[in-house]
Amino acid sequence: MDPSGIFPTSYRTDRRVVRTRWQMAALALFVGLMLAAPYLVSGRIVAILNMMMISAVIAVGLQICTGYAGQINLGQAAFMGVGAYTAAILASKTGLTFLLTIPLAGLSAALFGFLFGLTAARIKGFYLALTTIAAQFIFHFAVLNLPSNWMGGSNGITVPPAELFGLRFVGETAQFYMNFAVTAIMIAGAFGIVRSRFGRAFVAVRDDDVAAGIMGINVAATKANAFLIGAFYAGVGGALWAYMIRFVGVDQFTLFHSIFFVAMIIVGGMGSIVGALVGVFVIRIIQEIIATVGPNIADSVSFLGGDIVFAGMNVILGGVIALFMILEPKGLMHRWNIMKSSYRIWPFPY
């Protein structure tokens, strides 16, 4: 619901993302604060923001695939790993600039995701979830069993720093600006996708694929394209991860990480790009709190053992998912939209 006095007079204005001057001012303020963040906060906060931006790219891709197209995907971390390994191999063995390795990493992950997207034309629901889980095991099997001079095997691959015109992105601040630029481009692209004919086809297939097929939508191609786009975003996020960590190992991309990304879109709200970003913020904050408090708990209660941090993170994450599925299945963005509408129509109850 728009504020009073805002009346779109065309379809283009009705589909506009930023609709009022206040929204434009808020967006400009947010961008300005983000650009100034490395000079306003500590290095630890900058590192957390870097993690959030990389997670945002991956979660937005999953939102397009699952939230908009309705295709269950529990293999997003595997697609992220394909992109990370592609960027690592290209950067370390060919010396290509990150301007080329990042898009190529996304394309390689998109191809891998497209293969699994083809299965979505015949299966759905629980069986599709099992198929995407298989992507995790295929990825791990390939990395560990292919010749070690190809993908490093269990030893992983060391990634050289990103460079552009002799400038090396090695510090947290330099990484921050590179991640921010790529994240902004990918999020803007996501808004364009969901507002285009492809996005409308995704929603139609999600709501009723039989009715969508009767309307003339190629259901099989739409489902495969949803996986392709979601995997492309994961591959780009994987490439950013590789350049930030400077090392890629197969244990960085597990099924637990895929569940983290699913939790992000559940908490933020399915079918909302902004909801994916909100979910990334909430889940990452929870993870940071557990990682900070967990070691202190492990030291004070020694009989729990050193695995309390990992176990506690998974238990709390599972509890958060369960609570949202029971109490707020449509996510935080749905609750925010209700509050916003209630404020705008007050004091009327309708």
The 8-class DSSP code of residue 69 comes to T
For the chain, the domain total comes to 1
Low-confidence winner among 47-56, 115-124, 330-339 (lowest mean pLDDT): 115-124
Question: CA 105 to CA 241: how far, in whole Å?
Answer: 11
Asked whether residue 238 carries a pLDDT value surpassing 80, the answer given is yes
Both structure tokens of 322: 């369960």
- Average confidence (pLDDT) over 177-187: 94
Closest CA to 53 of 215, 206, 177, 188: 177
Instruction: Please report where in the chains the tokens 């709501």 appear, as a residue.
Output: 207
Instruction: Please report where in the chains the tokens 């992109």 appear, as a residue.
Output: 83
Percentage of the chain modeled with pLDDT above 90: 42
Closest CA to 87 of 178, 189, 165, 172: 178
The 8-class DSSP code of residue 158 comes to E
338 three-class SS? helix
Buried b (16+ CB within 10 A) or exposed e, 323-348: ebeeeeebbbbbebeeeeeeeeeeee
Structural domain includes residue 6: no
* pLDDT tens-digit readout, 10-32: 777 777 778 778 888 989 999 99
Both structure tokens of 153: 């095997």
Both structure tokens of 149: 């001079």
Structural domain includes residue 50: yes
Query: In this predicted structure, what is the pLDDT of residue 66?
Result: 92
Query: In this predicted structure, what is the pLDDT of residue 166?
Result: 73
Structural domain includes residue 34: no
Structural domain includes residue 21: no
Structural domain includes residue 13: no
More reliable by pLDDT, 291 or 216: 216
Largest Cα–Cα separation, the chain: 69
Structural domain includes residue 72: yes
What is the domain extent for residue 137?
41-345
Contacts with 8 (C-beta within 8 Å, 6 or more apart), sequence order: 2, 14, 16, 19
319 band by pLDDT with thresholds 50, 70 and 90 = confident
Question: CA 162 to CA 318: how far, in whole Å?
Answer: 36
* DSSP calls for 278-321: HHHHHHHHHHHHHHHHHHHHHHHSGGG-TTHHHHHHHHHHHHHH
Asked whether residue 33 carries a pLDDT value surpassing 70, the answer given is yes
- Average confidence (pLDDT) over 192-208: 92
Per the prediction, the chain carries an average pLDDT of: 86
Query: In this predicted structure, what is the pLDDT of residue 303?
Result: 59
68 band by pLDDT with thresholds 50, 70 and 90 = very high
Low-confidence winner among 86-90, 174-178, 303-307 (lowest mean pLDDT): 303-307
Structural domain includes residue 28: no
Low-confidence winner among 1-10, 19-28, 51-60, 160-169 (lowest mean pLDDT): 1-10
298 band by pLDDT with thresholds 50, 70 and 90 = low
More reliable by pLDDT, 339 or 63: 63
Structural domain includes residue 16: no
Residue type, 44: R
Query: In this predicted structure, what is the pLDDT of residue 222?
Result: 92
Tell me phi and psi for residue 68, to 5 degrees: -95, -45
Query: In this predicted structure, what is the pLDDT of residue 304?
Result: 58
Instruction: Please report where in the chains the tokens 């995704």 appear, as a residue.
Output: 202
